[in-house]
Structure 1
Amino acid sequence: MVDLSLGVWAGVFALSVLASFCVLWLAGVFLQRHANRSTPDDLPNLQSVFLFRGEKLADHDVLHAVLAQSIGQCINDWPDLRRWLQFRFRDLPDTLSSLSAGQSITFPDITKGSDASVTLTAQSASVSVVLYDPAQMEPAQRHQALRRNLELEDQNHALIHCPYPIWKTNKGGDVLWQNAASAMILSDEGVQPININENTGKPGEIHSARISVLLPETDDVRWFEVQTQRSGQDYLHYALDITKVIKAEAVRREFVQTLTKTFANLTTGLAVFDRKQQLALFNPALIDLTALPADFLSARPGLMSFFDKLRDQQVMPEPKNYASWRAQITDVIETASGGLYQETWNLPTGVTYRVTGRPHPDRAVAFLFEDISAEMSLTRRFRAQLDLRQSVLDKLDEAVAVIAPNNVLMMCNDACNDLLGIDPDTTFAEMSLHDLISVCSDKYPDADFWHDVQTRISSKTLSKSIRKSFGKNDGSQIDCLVSTVAGGTAMICFTARPALTRRLELPLAT
């Protein structure tokens, strides 16, 4: 009975062991088959493959939808992919055509502690670029994340070390972020010196304001132009140092004020027109000379309106034809822009103006109005006196030649022209003392005398008069008198003396 029980138990134990073995074997087979049926999506993808035909991207196996779309838009050929990869993988070839068929090159990641790599394998008609990264995510996705982090770091570094102040505030003016250069603008409490958040408008609109900051260490005042725009519920501020601009504007204002004071004391009328041909500057003398209303000039009229007003005020010669006059004014403007315009206006009132147009930088034009009536009157009187003196000299029987202090023939009368056979008025060239002495020497030869005359006149050593008589074949004589006149002027006079008549005495008849 005992033996039978032992046998039964032994058989049951054997069947149990056999059944357990079968179950374990079947479980192993099932798990193996299940493992064989697993898809790549169930395991982390350790590589991203890019296929190129020539230099163009033909295909890739990036599974991330957003990244795949970005790659499709931004990466079209090998240079694009090379730029995308080169911040981690250096020395990538410039072109894929440099690889020969069957050649494979691997480039390791330069990042410390990274086992990633890029392998280029050339085939007969294509080149595969494999991005391998043992990290637990898709290599292309991780590479894009690292690239984005690097870009953010570069941008943050650029903002922090930007030489121009940049900071961010909330609606209350509290500083949320600032770069190093903004320390000179923001106070110790971290609040900007004035409120520039008001009236900044809608998001995207830029509000500009100028602020001044006193630097305690140097007591210098720095000026900044701050541009503010909304960023969500906060404000971004960008400051530009315009201290030199402010100082230049102050110098310019002072210079203009100095010029204005100087021009105010001038008797010459001044009208300056800017590049838009609008009156930019005038002085009180212009009002006095032209009788133009001050309110008209202050309204900054244009050039044509200015000359139209002069015509209405009869301050310029009346044109015979209005259309041709307008064309003439246009020529005046163009000529003045070239720096060539100068004209004398003789008005019906007897007043004479000299109008000068001068060009200025940036296509500006300045017109100067001078009242030269007194000068013209004096010139006319002087010319009349000269004509009178010349008429008096021409009435004299003596031949007179006047030599100026610069040893040039100043004037001579008709008798001198007839005697010496000269006519200085018909030539543009001036007749020098040497030329005059040469003519006299040819007419009345005496080398020593004429040499002495020329030497004394040119050296201004003619202290007393010199006389000399020249005989003629008919028995008559020419008396020559060389003397000085006031102001270093010399005069040569020739007087003709007829021949003496002798009475014949006949003997008396016896």
Structure 2
Amino acid sequence: MHDIEPTTLLVIIITSLIAAGFAYWFLLRGMASQQKNSHAIIPLDKTETTYLFDDTTLIDASPSARKQLPRQTGDETDWQRFITAFSPRFSTLANDLRTLAQTGSMTILPDDPDDPTRINAEWQDGYARLTIFETGPAPEKPLIDPVNLSALESELETLRNTAKLAPYLVWKETRDGQINWANTAYLDLATTLHPENANSWPPKRLFTLLAEASTSPQPEMKRVSIKGKKPDEVLWFDLVCKKTNETTLCFATPADSIVQAETSLKGFVQTLTKTFAHLSIGLAVFDKNRQLALFNPALTDLTRLPIDFLSIRPTLFAFLDRLRENQMMPEPKDYKSWRHQMLALEEAAADGTYEETWTLPGGQTYRVNGRPHPDGAVALLFEDISAEISLTRNFREELEIGQAVLDALDDAVVVFSQTGMITISNAAYASLWGVDPGTSFAEMSITDATRSWQDICDPTPLWGHLREFVGDPDDRRNWFGDATLDDGRQLECQISPLAGGATMVKFHVKPAPKKPAKKRNTPRKTPAKT
């Protein structure tokens, strides 16, 4: 055996010591790790439901425990899944577990006193160990066949997807206002408005309930608003809350478009109201149920109906009845015929064909129109045309007087408009020329008139000059002309320009010259001889 040099022996000893040191260090680390993870051992007893959390991460769970957790969606943590699964029965679960690190252990009771389920929470070396158990003997449960179990699981999955994919906000609150469950729409909005609280549980509370949630089957819907992400942004929602046991289930439907439409409609109605208030025409709008929905101040002035009567929204027939009582509509011969007439009025107004002139007993004259409106509504418009009717009557009387004056003249007179059409003539004209333009169905022009004049007159260039004068807007002077009738009478024609480009022609008939009387040859009487 060869002798080992001292240097080599020293190297071997140092190397052995180093290797032994490393082996001892690894052994100690493995023992410490085994000791630390000894608390993480989950019993394999299928009747026990246990979870082990490291902060918000689930690091181990029994098979029965994993089945009770919902599927993970999006950025949802394991801790949020656990709170979502058990908070419906333990509304204070999230708040109670906040103090687990300080208390070390606790037993959390359910909201329902009759519920035997408990949650035992323990804090061990930085890990949260949560065990779900039941007190007392476990109730006997009927066996569930695989078909029914599959149907229940399918229904549960459908309900979860419904809550997740709902386009409106759904959440549950505890008595102290903490959120213990929320759907994806709520979480997304909370993250958008409060990004600093993203991935934290419970999420930020977005709504402050205005009153206690209703316990009735049909809770009242309230319109609420919250501040948006921008400084001047406001988000509107229709909020409905229902109190169930110790929690409150809430639904919030976005109402921004509805609020915007209502605001626009309100502004439009205000504009219409201001416009209608200055109209001189009375307006009454009846809805599809034939109740008064809108009226303006002019209606009260024209119909003399009191505002308190119109404010109670009378029906169409009650409105017309009151008009009849106030003598603000034509008096019918009998009530039965009047009711038939009002039914016809309603039908005609709905078709947009009702238009009548009412001559009232007081002397006023109203024009009443019925117009259909959207959604089956009907509008009645009342217009006082008494002044218009009076003016028309006066104008008609003046025309009749003017015609009577012309007819009283001996000379024939006819007036042509700027376009050469006959506008007026007198009786002497009809007698002279045998044509009465007032009774003709068609309008007569200067050409038609001169043609009829030529038929009973000797040839003359006067008629051609007259046609040119009537159509000439520049040459406007007073002039005369002569013509001879075929019976030998002489016509003295006076052509006078009038206002508006009109032309008046006056015919004066000169009497025919008397023929000299023939001398009779009478025998001269001889004086008698005496």
Please, what TM-score do these two structures have when normalized by structure 2? 0.63
289, 299, 302: which one pairs with 1:286? 299
333, 340, 343: which one pairs with 1:327? 340
Aligned partner of 1:362 in structure 2 is 375
Query: 1:173 & 1:454 partners in 2: Cα distance?
Result: 99
Q: Deviations over 1:169-211 (max 9, x none)?
A: 2343321222232247657562242215624124x43431111
Aligned partner of 2:122 in structure 1 is none
1:215, distance to aligned residue in structure 2 (A): 0.5
1:257 matched to 2:257: no
Question: Bigger CA drift: 379-388 or 240-249?
Answer: 240-249
1:147, distance to aligned residue in structure 2 (A): 6.9
1:167 matched to 2:171: yes
Closer/same/farther in 2, CA of residues 194 and 420 from structure 1, 3 Å limit: farther
Closer/same/farther in 2, CA of residues 205 and 425 from structure 1, 3 Å limit: same
Equivalent position amino acid for 2:316 in 1: L
Equivalent position amino acid for 1:397 in 2: D
Size of the aligned set, in residue pairs, is: 368
Aligned partner of 2:204 in structure 1 is 190
* C-alpha contact 2:418 2:501 (8 A) present in aligned 1: yes
Equivalent position amino acid for 1:479 in 2: E
Aligned partner of 1:454 in structure 2 is 467
Q: Deviations over 1:376-406 (max 9, x none)?
A: 2111111111000100111111111112234
1:146, distance to aligned residue in structure 2 (A): 6.2
Determine what percentage of the aligned residue pairs are the same residue.
Answer: 41
* Superposed counterparts of 1:413-424, under 5 Å: 413-424=426-437
SS at match of 1:217: coil
149, 153, 156: which one pairs with 2:160? 156
Query: 2:188 & 2:220 partners in 1: Cα distance?
Result: 21
Aligned partner of 1:481 in structure 2 is 494
* C-alpha contact 1:185 1:193 (8 A) present in aligned 2: no
* C-alpha contact 1:212 1:224 (8 A) present in aligned 2: yes
* Superposed counterparts of 1:88-127, under 5 Å: none
Closer/same/farther in 2, CA of residues 205 and 342 from structure 1, 3 Å limit: closer
SS at match of 1:332: helix
SS at match of 2:471: helix
Aligned partner of 2:406 in structure 1 is 393
Q: Deviations over 1:236-270 (max 9, x none)?
A: 32222111211221222222222222222222222
* C-alpha contact 2:447 2:467 (8 A) present in aligned 1: yes
* Superposed counterparts of 1:346-357, under 5 Å: 346-357=359-370
Equivalent position amino acid for 1:190 in 2: K
Runs of 5+ in structure 2 lacking a partner? Answer: 1-143, 195-202, 520-530
Aligned partner of 2:130 in structure 1 is none
Aligned partner of 1:225 in structure 2 is 238
* C-alpha contact 1:269 1:369 (8 A) present in aligned 2: yes
Closer/same/farther in 2, CA of residues 440 and 207 from structure 1, 3 Å limit: same
* C-alpha contact 2:457 2:486 (8 A) present in aligned 1: no
Aligned partner of 2:482 in structure 1 is 469
Query: 1:290 & 1:205 partners in 2: Cα distance?
Result: 44
1:320, distance to aligned residue in structure 2 (A): 1.7
Query: 1:428 & 1:343 partners in 2: Cα distance?
Result: 28
Query: 1:328 & 1:476 partners in 2: Cα distance?
Result: 63
Query: 1:239 & 1:407 partners in 2: Cα distance?
Result: 77
* Superposed counterparts of 1:233-252, under 5 Å: 233-252=246-265
242, 266, 269: which one pairs with 2:282? 269
Equivalent position amino acid for 1:160 in 2: K
Aligned partner of 2:214 in structure 1 is 200
* C-alpha contact 1:207 1:229 (8 A) present in aligned 2: no
1:487, distance to aligned residue in structure 2 (A): 1.7
SS at match of 1:285: helix
* C-alpha contact 2:458 2:484 (8 A) present in aligned 1: no
RMSD over equivalenced CA pairs, Å? 3.0
* C-alpha contact 2:481 2:493 (8 A) present in aligned 1: yes
